[in-house]
Amino acid sequence: MAPTRADNTLRNGHSEEKHILLLGSGFVVPPCLEYLARRKTNQITIASLDLERAHQLARKRSNIFVTTVDVGNQDSLDQLVSRHDIVISLIPYTFHAKVIRSALKFRKHVVTTSYISPEMKAFDAEAKEKGVMIMNEIGLDPGVDHVYALKTIDEVQSQGGKILSFVSYCGGLPAPEASGNPLGYKFSWSSRGVLLALRNEAKYLKDGKVVKVEGSELMRSAVPINILPALAVVGYPNRDSSGYGERYNMPHAHTVLRGSLRYACFPEFVQALVDIGFLSEEAKPYLSTDAADIEWKDVLVQMLDLPKYQEEAVEEAIASKSGLSDSMALQRVIQGMKWLGLLSSTKVTKRGGNLLDTLCATLEEKMVFEEGERDMVLLQHTFEVETGKGELQTRTSTLLEYGEPKGFTAMAKTVGTPCAIAVQLILDGELNIPGVQAPITKDIYLPIMAQLEKEGITCKESIIPH
């Protein structure tokens, strides 16, 4: 399908026009489009399988056009990429390598918000040879976190100081007034993706030694994080941050940890769900689509290997499976499961034939943002510093961003806007560093930071002497 209204522009556009291909139409796209569409010489084509959504995004904007493309079809992708100056890939990361391959054929720049995978990194030499910039990790986490971490690290080291410890936590959460559920969480994207991430193992550096946390124990590793007195949040390690001492050029750092933030009620409840077996992808015949309807309390009986549903026996089995000896903690978990309907006669919305996907169907019914509710992004870097004069100090860099009830969510803004900034800087020639890149060097993060601050995306910094 040809781009609506775009062909004439692509063929007859003036030399000052820049042609941008945006792959995807997900929740971070609107603020990205809003930023890029301010420049009327930017001619933007949204390529999406969801044409209705894409047309909504393009509505009332004369410089945004719509088309569809099968990214799995290399010829179709090549035809579209060849007619644009730069490609923004906001589709699942598994397609990025295919997009980069196409862009390199035609010497087109690419921007993604994703972590650099080995498959993407493999294009580095070719991109350098062809003078093409493949910009990645430019959203929130990763992205804004890189920018403001490197700002402080480079400032300290340029003055002869050392970073002795770096601990960073970031989380996308409901605003406090919208957090009233057992998880203190609401889903703005795939609930399955959120839950699967909680099964990943994590690694970090503590006192010079690598600490490994198994996925099954990830929630038990959560600790209180004191960022703002009004917010009871906890943090747990995210992925493998053990190599960030080298990546951020902190040779003296004995502790390096990057983690996720949640409200204090989250880890305890999720860990109970893990221990009971709700995050299992094992096929269950009683959850198959052709099985008879089943109520949640009867699912729980199957999971806990009980002969029948009796509330006292169920609660005892939950306590045993989850290892919760604290009566208050156990009651919070029980009350949370009741709130979700897991101990009720509610018929299960079956999905995927397994417990994980079936639980996700219920979470998505119960835990979505209602109209008028705000989300919140909270990020804090904490640095233990030895200055060039030998003085010890703690430095923090904190970002707190709220969504707008009738505007962009905080998460969409802090992912989509940095992405758009990088695109515009590349188009304007202010970023021209060939290769597979991330915003971790001054020549990349400083221009981006200057524009982030103009958009109000900035960290508040403090220094506390010891």
Q: Could you identify the residue written with the tokens 């007859």?
A: 12
Q: Which DSSP string do the residues of 179-210 spell out, in sequence order? A: --STTS--BSS-HHHHHHHTTS-EEEEETTEE
Residue 392 in contact with residue 400, Cβ under 8 Å?
Answer: no
Residue 279 in contact with residue 355, Cβ under 8 Å?
Answer: yes
Residue 316 in contact with residue 366, Cβ under 8 Å?
Answer: no
| Residue 74, φ and ψ in degrees, nearest 5 | -60, -40
User: Can you name the residues that pair with 392 across neighbouring β-strands?
Assistant: 386
Distance CA 317, CA 324 (A): 11
Sign of CA dihedral 302, 306, 311, 314: negative
Residue 141 a catalytic site member: yes
3-state secondary structure of 301: helix
Cis peptide before 267 (omega within 30 of 0): no
Residue in 115, 148, 146 with CA at minimum distance from that of residue 240: 115
Residue 310 in contact with residue 318, Cβ under 8 Å?
Answer: no
Q: Which of 141, 145, 275, 375 is catalytic?
A: 141
Residue 334 in contact with residue 315, Cβ under 8 Å?
Answer: yes
Active site residues: 141
